[in-house]
Amino acid sequence: MARVLLLTPPFTQLNTPYPATAYLQGFLRSRGVDCAQTDLGIEVIDRLFSRSGLSQAFEAAGDLGDFAGREGHCVRAIDPVMRFLRGGDPTLARQLAAPGFLPVVLTEQEEADLDWAFGTMGLQDRAKHLATRFLEELARFIVDTLDPDFGFTRYAEQLGRCAYTFDALHERLQRPPSYTERILLELLAEHLDRHTLEWVGLSVPFPGNLVGALRIAQWIRAHRPEIRIALGGGFANTELRGVRDPRVFDYVHAITLDDGERPFLQLLEWGRDPSTPLRRTFLRGSDGRVHYHDDPTLPDFKLAETGTPDYTGLPLDRYIDAIEQTNPMHSLWSDGRWNKLTLAHGCYWAKCTFCDVSLDYIAAYEPVAARLLVDRIEELAAATGQTGFHFVDEAAPPSLLRALALELLKRGVVITWWTNIRFEARFTPGLCRLLRASGCVAVAGGLEVASDRLLALIEKGVTVDQVARVARDFTASGILVHAYLMYGFPTQTAGETVDAMERVRQLFAAGVVHSGFWHRFALTAHSPVGKDPARFGITARMPDAPFALNDLEFDDPTGTDHGAFSDGLRIALYNWMRGEGLDLPLRRWFDLPTPKPRVARDWVERVLDAPEAADSPHAQLVYLGAPLVRRGAVWVAQGTEAFVEWALREEEVGIWSERLASVRPGARKITIAAADWLADPFAQALFNAGLLVTA
């Protein structure tokens, strides 16, 4: 029987748990707190998208619309589809990928898209995509007939986004629960019956979790009034830093900010002794007003002190692999089980002017030692049975990634991982090879506006030429590269948007970027732009916000109609990711007159053909291959996506075996300056193949 129950409200991800409750449970249990957790979002999906759940939904809807006559087919297919998407029945792919098994109708273009994305042998992924399309059609049916707020990764998001006042949320919560919310509350009651609770902690990472969280809190207050409720998470950290509407506390007892370990631990003690000091916590006082309590003498816990995330209690067997889009990076986000882990708290750069660098989750940088990280990786892999890892850092530090890769290779720990990075010069070709050998399959980084003037205004610390070179080095190592792209930054002109688009086109044409997404710039209250808009040439409109405050409206005297570019940017990028339309003039993607790009047509070629910077003589040598083996008349060195065949004389084999063993991960550090054998043709062949690297 737990004292504390940590809940993730609907909805976040289908394929893997959002990690906040696992992080907090790992910490609380390390401090002796009896704690349990669950993800009510995936539990709602599990109950709704089942044979019985779907049958009840069709019956409740009455008017089946486009599903009339197909409901029996859907009910028959749903359990096999969910079983397949959970990884429990892979042979079903041959039926799911064939026409007719699923009640999904594709256009000719959609059929062509599938052939492009999955070919003739990619049965598993093709079946996942078609099964996901089936679920999306059922979701549209639910939205049209039962619950207009339903969505697989959000719920009633429009009420939580830019909710300056609590009025709309309060009004919504006075209505009877929706169809989806009734399922949610049934599951909630089942969980509460299993425990004798003092506290429920609600993690609200996004606006699309807020209504579900408040509905949960409302039900607990009405039916289990002895339980106290705390709300925290990413939404609170960014949006509720100035909350002063007391009505929120008709639902929750406390709202905590930033890292939850210290605030929640203090709340547990405060629940028993009201004189206990609190850390970064809002409460409603006896005067009916909201008060902020923060005792700065209470230290926050270091990341190394918070323990390993603990996934116990989360229904790991119910998460489903979904392939919504044929974008290769989106498949990483939605397909596969990824253990979430943080390499370093905060961001080591923390200067980007569009980012919330004033907040603790960005500003307070604290890395973790590579040895401890690999300890946690091994512990998590053993506990979950999964060896996929998503390092959720804002930007993973190159030096820490280097140390992590060496430690993984030294211990022989085999994982698959991906993360966010900055396209900075420290990601050398050798380091990229080292990361790939340690299991890195993808990186995502911010190219943003693809304009050196605007990158300087953003204080990104990179140039477009540098991004191109670093992206090339990752790609050459076999690592997928995704670019975060931005348009609409303050003072950005139409010409700069077109120039940025041309640079992105060339990056795709050169094959150094595989995936991307254009984001419209949003002004946030906690960013340098939001705090000093005049410095960036704009005027921000500050609303009266007694509830949530983050996104701000603003006026840009430049006058560019950024919205007019949205569709063209999106459609062009979709085609470029498929290798199509790369030779079309940019104006062909728009319905409005656009300036001609001022970027040279051979820009990326010249950048990538420029001589590489020489390695530092102090750079460490690392051999990434296996021990030499004889194959006929030659000796073979083999590693990840690379091998070298070489005719070594018998007397050379022992020498080279000793040399390569001396620079394997975990061996003593040998630098370029200390190795007198690097000019040998065999060493050069190993360098050229990426089996011998400098990092």
Tens-digit pLDDT profile for residues 144-202: 999 999 999 999 999 998 899 999 999 999 999 999 999 999 999 999 999 999 999 99
Residue 556's region, left for phi above 0, alpha for psi from -120 to 50, else beta, is beta
pLDDT at 157: 95
Tens-digit pLDDT profile for residues 611-637: 988 888 889 999 999 999 998 889 999
Mean pLDDT to the nearest integer, 479-485: 96
| Bridge pairing between strands 366-367 and 523-524 | unpaired
pLDDT at 66: 80
| Whether the predicted pLDDT of 26 surpasses 90 | yes
CA 257 centroid distance within chain = 21
Mean pLDDT to the nearest integer, 297-313: 94
Cα angle: 189, vertex 195, 198; to 5 degrees: 100
| Whether the predicted pLDDT of 658 surpasses 70 | yes
Give CA separation, 433 vs 235, 291, 511, 603, in Å: 37, 52, 17, 25
pTM to 2 decimal places: 0.92
Helices 464-476 & 494-509 angle (0-180, nearest 10): 20
Higher pLDDT, 2 or 253: 253
| Whether the predicted pLDDT of 344 surpasses 90 | yes
| Whether the predicted pLDDT of 248 surpasses 90 | yes
Tens-digit pLDDT profile for residues 506-556: 999 999 999 999 999 999 999 999 999 999 999 999 999 999 999 999 999
Assign 594 to helix, strand or coil. Answer: coil
Determine the Cα–Cα distance for residues 572 and 377; give it in Å rounded to an integer: 39
Higher pLDDT, 101 or 204: 204
Measured distance between the N- and C-terminal CA atoms of the chain, rounded to whole angstroms: 50
pLDDT at 643: 84
Determine the Cα–Cα distance for residues 454 and 71; give it in Å rounded to an integer: 53
Q: Which helix (H) or strand (E) holds 341?
A: strand 339-341
| Whether the predicted pLDDT of 92 surpasses 80 | yes
| Whether the predicted pLDDT of 271 surpasses 80 | yes
| Whether the predicted pLDDT of 341 surpasses 90 | yes
Q: Can you spell out the DSSP letters for 370-391?
A: HHHHHHHHHHHHHHHS--EEEE
Mean pLDDT to the nearest integer, 133-144: 94
Domain limits, the chain: 4-41+154-305, 47-145, 328-609, 621-694
- Residue 47 pLDDT class (50, 70, 90 cuts): very high
pLDDT at 177: 98
CA 375 centroid distance within chain = 23
Please tell me whether the peptide bond between 11 and the residue prior to it is cis, using omega within 30 degrees of 0.
yes
In this structure, the dihedral spanned by the alpha carbons of residues 582, 587, 589 and 594, taken in order and rounded to 10 degrees, is: 140
Helices 464-476 & 429-437 angle (0-180, nearest 10): 40
Determine the Cα–Cα distance for residues 172 and 183; give it in Å rounded to an integer: 17
Would you call 319 exposed, middle or buried from its count of C-beta atoms within 10 A (0-12, 13-18, 19+)?
A: buried
| Residue among 443, 324, 376 at smallest CA distance from 85 | 324
The superfamily (CATH) of domain 4-41+154-305 is: Response regulator (3.40.50.2300)
Mean pLDDT to the nearest integer, 638-662: 90
The fold for domain 328-609 equals TIM Barrel (3.20.20)
Determine the Cα–Cα distance for residues 564 and 404; give it in Å rounded to an integer: 44
Give me the phi and psi of 537, to 5 degrees please: 80, 20
Q: Which helix (H) or strand (E) holds 76?
A: helix 71-85
pLDDT at 121: 44
Mean pLDDT to the nearest integer, 356-370: 94
Tens-digit pLDDT profile for residues 591-603: 999 999 999 999 9
Q: Which helix (H) or strand (E) holds 291?
A: strand 290-293
CA 98 centroid distance within chain = 32
Mean pLDDT to the nearest integer, 301-315: 94
**Lowest mean pLDDT across 376-385, 432-441, 668-677:** 668-677
